[in-house]
Amino acid sequence: MTVFTKRLKQAREHAKLSQERLGVLAGIDEMSSSARMNQYERGKHEPDFSMVERIARVLNVPESYFYTKDDDAAWLLVIFHRMQPMQRQKVIEVVRELAS
């Protein structure tokens, strides 16, 4: 199982979407959406980046989430992605202070 396939399945299940529904919401034809998403999750085929962008938008995660090996880093990416701009700015300020 690749990092991409693991993250895709985790995010889809967390969103409580079937493979078919995720595919349809990402713009895949309803007749083939389940099969294509299944192939992506099994690692048989890898989507191009424009499809990754559409899947990420549906699942409300950043594209980088799918490629991050470290589980903690992936979780932080999702949390940061879902924050409001003011919250993000506060996090950035705190991290800059900690890093200096």
pLDDT surpassing 90 at residue 1: no
How many domains, the chain? 1
Domain that holds residue 46: 3-99
Give me the pLDDT at residue 77, please.
Answer: 97
Give me the pLDDT at residue 20, please.
Answer: 97
Q: Which tens digit of pLDDT belongs to each residue from 53-84? A: 999 999 999 999 999 999 999 999 999 999 99
Could you tell me which residues come within 8 angstroms of residue 52 by beta carbon, excluding any fewer than 6 positions away? 63, 66
Q: Which tens digit of pLDDT belongs to each residue from 2-58? A: 999 999 999 999 999 999 999 999 999 999 999 999 999 999 999 999 999 999 999
CATH number at 70 reads: 1.10.260.40
Phi–psi pair at 67, nearest 5 degrees:
-115, 0
